Amino acid sequence: MKSILIYGAGGHAKAVIDVIEKAGECRVTGLLDRIKPPGTNVYGYQVLGNENDLAVDESVQGLIVAIGDNWLRAEVAMAIRSIRPDLPFITAIHPNASVARGAEIGEGSVVMAGAVVNSDTRIGKHCILYTLASVDHDSSVGDFVSFAPHAATGGGVSIGAYTALGIGAKIIHSVSIGEHTVVGAGANVLSPIADYSVAYGTPAREIRARKAGERYL
């Protein structure tokens, strides 16, 4: 069984710990965090330090970044990659998630309970599919994307990197959503949404522009 570290010690990290424990393929040896001090305990796992401590830890065999914000998760993943280019990012897939034939899940991604990735869909690196999220067949999801609980797409959808779909957002088949975009909670997306925008409503409209890294949670 692989010995891994989890980066993050907040609410999202607790959900990721649960997925990893239930999947039963990796053994968590500890947590890393920039804010919570060493010794902080989360579900029996201790914060051991931050990413700089990875440079000297030869025993770790894998890592996952458990930060909910897409931009912050990317910053940390890139920092870790430059400190330890050799260290694999693991994927965490809940045993009650469904990943269909031909589907691919990129390194560092998390698929939570009840989530569905349907046939021949590609999920990028470091994505999060929260509880009961669903990505239907032949879709393409960029790196660092998040689907909040119950967000769902039809088939043949394309979603750009760093985009966040809010809770219960629905995207009809064959629609493209740009990168660095936020689709609001409960939106019904019937037509394409541009890069760097905030869109919501039924039907969803682009309400305003946003910049890369702008907070949305």
Ligand X SMILES: CC(C)(COP(=O)(O)OP(=O)(O)OC[C@H]1O[C@@H](n2cnc3c(N)ncnc32)[C@H](O)[C@@H]1OP(=O)(O)O)[C@@H](O)C(=O)NCCC(=O)NCCS
Residues numbered 22-41 forming contacts with ligand X, rule: CB under 6 A = none
Judge whether 137 counts as a catalytic residue. Answer: yes
As measured in angstroms, the least distance from the Cβ of 7 to ligand X is: 18
Rounded Cα distance between 137 and 57, Å, is 40
As measured in angstroms, the least distance from the Cβ of 181 to ligand X is: 10
The 3-class SS string of 69-117 reads CHHHHHHHHHHHHHHCCCCCECCEECCCCEECCCCEECCCCEECCCCEE
- Tell whether residue 102 is a contact of ligand X (CB under 6 A): no
Kindly tell me the burial class for residue 19, based on how many C-beta atoms sit within 10 Å of its own C-beta (0-12, 13-18, 19 or more): buried
The CA-based dihedral angle spanning residues 171, 157, 128, 166, taken in that order and rounded to the nearest 10 degrees: -20
Number of residues that bind ligand X (CB under 6 A): 13
The angle at the Cα of 39, spanning 37 to 42, to the nearest 5 degrees, equals 95
Query: In this chain, which stretch among 33-41, 88-96, 111-119, 185-193 interacts with ligand X, using CB under 6 A?
Result: 185-193
Residues numbered 125-164 forming contacts with ligand X, rule: CB under 6 A = 130, 148
Rounded Cα distance between 179 and 197, Å, is 9
- Tell whether residue 8 is a contact of ligand X (CB under 6 A): no
Q: Of residues 137, 150, 173, 180, which has the active-site annotation?
A: 137
- Tell whether residue 72 is a contact of ligand X (CB under 6 A): no
As measured in angstroms, the least distance from the Cβ of 188 to ligand X is: 10
Q: List contacts with ligand X (CB under 6 A).
A: 130, 148, 166-167, 182, 184-187, 198, 200-201, 216
